[in-house]
Amino acid sequence: MNRRLEERRAYHARYKQTVKTRGKPFFPYAMFHDTVMSLLVVCLIVALAVIWKYTANEGTGEHDSGWLGKLYDEKADPGTTNFVPRPDWYFYFLFYLLRIFKWPDSVILGTVGIPTVALLLLLALPFIDIGRERRPMRRPVAMTAAVLTIITMGVLTYKGATAKEPLAAENLVLVPKWAAKQGFAGNQTAVDGAKIFAQVGCMNCHTYLGAGTSNLGAPDLSKIGKTSNRGVAGFATYVSDPSKFGNNVMPQFKDLGADNLRKLGTFLQSSGTCSPKTDTCPAAGGQ
């Protein structure tokens, strides 16, 4: 123990001696590098600000986002019912960490447990890694830990950036894409129906063009108009009470009302029957 301390002291004494005899003055040698780097940093900050400003539109909508995001979001609304909060990019890892712990009993691990332990480990690093060796290649444990940390942070950040929720607000964004892909963009009733489809929880069990989650054996509905072909009214009747058709798994959607059911039916009938090239659908009504 004592020997180690003496070794370290001797090392530092040698360090001081070497620097004194063979070092170079900070100014201008080292400071030159520092100044160049600082200039780069300032230029980078200004460049980011300029790119941010000139690629974004002055607005708060989805399409106003430039390369570096919007100039401003909408004003805070503490009573919102359709906003999907996402943190800034450097908190994505924490954001995804919270999503990992999806069991109520483990919530505290994600919120305070792991961050606290990580911080304490970071603070205590000089007392954990007490070896005198400084060359990276001869510190395999430390280097492995560092690489793992970086990979973990990278993966968490990536997963956080791409995380999606099967929620009305998130699904609604997809509706224009569906309309373009399925070719019912010109049919307003079908577009309205798609919005209803996106919002009322259909996608908690059904998938549609790769979105949504598959649960309870519910089929993919991307081509339902072609495969089932019940017609607008037929779909409306089916959805309003599936049990009449022998389907006791799917809930009733009578609540939507005749008008909304007709829109939903139009959307389902249009799925897979319209032509994306000509943007036309067969006459509503199906069979």
Partner 1 sequence: MNPRHDVDPHEGQGTAHEPTPTIWPVGFAVGIACIFVGLIISKIVLVVGVVLTAIFGFLWIRDATRPFRGEEAPAEPEPSRALPPGTPAARTSGPDPGQGEIVRFPRSKFLEATTLGLGGLIGVIVTAPVLGFTVLPPFIKQGHPKIDVGAIEDFPENKFVIATYLLKPEDGEVSRRTAYIRNNGFLDESPSFTILSNRCVHLGCPVQVNGLPLDDEAKTEKTAGDNVVTRIPTAAAAGFGCPCHGGQYDTEGNRTAGPPVRALDRYQFEIVDGRLLLGQTFSVSDVDGTGAEAKIHTYRLAGPGQHVDGPEGWLYPVQPPR
Partner 2 sequence: MANKPQGRSHQLLQILLYPLNWLEERTSLPGRSGIVGGIKYFLFRKVPSDISWGHTLGSAALTAFIVQAVTGVILAMYYKPDPNSAYESIRHITDDLWAGWLVRGMHRWGASVFIILLFLHMGRVFLYGAYKYPRELNWIIGVLILVLGMMEGFFGYLLPWDQTAYWATVVGVNLQATGPFVGPFLGDVLRGGSEIGPDTLARFYSLHMLVIPGALAALIGLHLWLVVRIGVSSPPWSPTEAGRPEPGPPPAPRKGLVAPAPRNGLAAPVSRGARRR
**Binding residues for partner 1 (CB under 8 A):** 76-85, 95, 98-99, 101-108, 110-111, 165-170, 196, 199-201, 204, 251, 253, 255-257, 260
180 binds, among partner 1, partner 2, none (CB under 5 to 8 A by kind): none
Binding mask 133-152 for partner 2 (x = CB under 8 A): xxxxxxxx-x---x------
Burial 236-257 (b: 16+ CB within 10 A, else e): bbbbbebeeeeeeebeebeebe
User: How many residues line the site for partner 2 (CB under 8 A)?
Assistant: 78
From the list partner 2, partner 1, none, partner contacted by residue 168 (C-beta under 5 to 8 A by kind): partner 1
- Interface pick for partner 2 out of 64, 65, 66, 71 (rule CB under 8 A): 71
Closest by alpha carbon to 256, among 217, 178, 206, 202? 202
- Least spacing, CB of residue 98 vs partner 2, in Å: 8
Q: What is the x/- site pattern for partner 2, positions 146-185, by CB under 8 A?
A: x---------------------------------------
**SS3 assignment, position 261:** helix
Residue pointed to by tokens 């089916």? 238
Tell me whether residue 62 or residue 105 sits nearer to partner 1 (CB atom). Answer: 105
Q: Is 216 in the site for partner 2 (CB under 8 A)?
A: no
User: Closest CB to partner 2 among 83 and 158?
Assistant: 83
Position 107 contacts partner 2 (CB under 8 A)? yes
Least distance from C-beta 102 to partner 1, angstroms? Answer: 5
Tokens matching residue 163: 């995380």
Pick from 6, 57, 106, 125: which binds partner 2 (CB under 8 A)?
125
Who contacts 269 (Cβ-Cβ below 8 Å, separation ≥6)? 190, 225, 229, 230, 231, 232, 235, 284, 286
Whether the CB-CB separation of 92 and 160 falls below 8 Å is answered with yes
What number of other Cβ atoms are within 10 A of residue 263's Cβ? 24
Cα–Cα distances in Å, from 150 out to 19, 93, 157, 232? 33, 11, 10, 53
Minimal CA–CA distance to 96: which of 152, 149, 157, 151? 157
Q: Which does 177 bind (CB under 5 to 8 A by kind): partner 1, partner 2, none?
A: none
Residues 185-214 that bind partner 2 (CB under 8 A): none
Q: Which of residues 36-55 bind partner 2 (CB under 8 A)?
A: 36-38, 40-42, 44-46, 48-50, 52-53
Report yes or no: 183 and 281 within 8 Å, Cβ to Cβ: yes
132's contact among partner 1, partner 2, none, with CB below 5 to 8 A by partner kind, is partner 2
